[in-house]
Amino acid sequence: MTTEPPSRATGSGPATATEEPARLLVGGTEVARYVLDPALDVRHGPRPYLHPVRTLGGTVVTDALPADHVWHLGASLAVQDVNGVNFWGGRTYVRDVGYTWRDDHGVIAHTGWSERAADHLAHRLEWRDPHKAVLLTERRRLAAVPLTADLPLTGDGPLTGDGPLTADGPGGGVSAWRLEVDYTLSAPPGQDVRLGSPATNGRPDGAGYGGFFWRAVSADPASVFSASATGEEAVNGSAEPWVALCGTGPDGRAYTLVFTGLGDGDRWFVRTAMYPGVGVAFAFERPVTIAAGTDRRGRHRVVIADGTLDRATAAALASPAC
């Protein structure tokens, strides 16, 4: 039995940070905090992350440092295999061996601000190996955007829950905002950078995680659906245009997250049985390479809504026109 390594921050909640978290606001309301430099054991994959993220109604929809996977840090970019370096945290999956504790953990470090405003943040980062060599540089932008449409609730009820559809917005509409995540990962001149996952290193059962990952929180079992599928098994590994996760926050109130933004070759990584989480997986089935001197760009969108939404409403929220 493998025990969890000691950490300066354990349990569910934000890590102690060496720099005050940045904040994102929508209409003067704080909807997210961005922890830049968490004081974590290196085996937990220190990296900037968003937590807590909240609905406009105040329900928390992220988890950080949960007991089941202490290295899950709210919403963040994290990859388990970057040229053999673990930027995800936890044990590394080794072919023909399984999960193993190794001294192979890297750090994703904030190096400077480009922009900092109430509704958006932009900064520069370095992905450093255990010897502090830089494997990737990154430019990242986060924005909190109020939705322009006051969408009515549609349908007779959620496709993934037993209760009635809930309405928390004005006039019975949807109360929601959108998180925009844009980044550019740049490989250094003279060195290709290979991105892998437990799946590409031999693990079966659809565990191709690593990329943009959202560890959700849910007091009750979460549910997941997409444009044409329902449930973890059907949605995990798919390339659907959007995925919705419905859960219950610590305050007992329902929420829905609607994810869009798969890149070429990306797949959805989804969990609801073991824990609630959704990710954009870069290397779900096979490794990908950022060629020396070139970039990999990502553009992901997450709608954070109060209430449990149905498929038609989730599809409308996923639309670029919303």
Q: Report DSSP letters for 119-185, one per residue.
A: SEEEEEEEEE-TT--EEEEEEEEEEEEE-S--PBP-SSS-SS-SS-----SGGGB--EEEEEEEEEE
Q: Is residue 79 part of a domain?
A: yes
Q: What is the mean pLDDT of the chain?
A: 90
The answer to the question of residue 9 being in a domain is: no
Q: Which domain holds residue 257?
A: 22-318
What's the number of domains the chain is made of?
Answer: 1
1 vs 79: which has the higher pLDDT: 79
Residue 6: its pLDDT value, please? 39
Q: Is residue 99 one of the residues assigned to a domain? A: yes
Q: Is residue 97 part of a domain?
A: yes
Question: What pLDDT was estimated at residue 167?
Answer: 42
Q: Residue 301: is its pLDDT beyond 80?
A: yes
Predicted pLDDT at 130: 98
Q: Tell me: the pLDDT tens digits for 5-44? A: 433 333 445 555 567 889 999 999 999 999 999 999 999 9
Is there a domain that residue 2 lies in? no
Classify residue 10: in a domain, yes or no: no
**pLDDT for 259 beyond 80:** yes
pTM, two decimal places: 0.90
pLDDT at residue 115, as a whole number: 98
Q: Is residue 17 part of a domain?
A: no
Q: Is residue 12 part of a domain?
A: no
pLDDT band at 171 (very low <50, low <70, confident <90, very high): very low
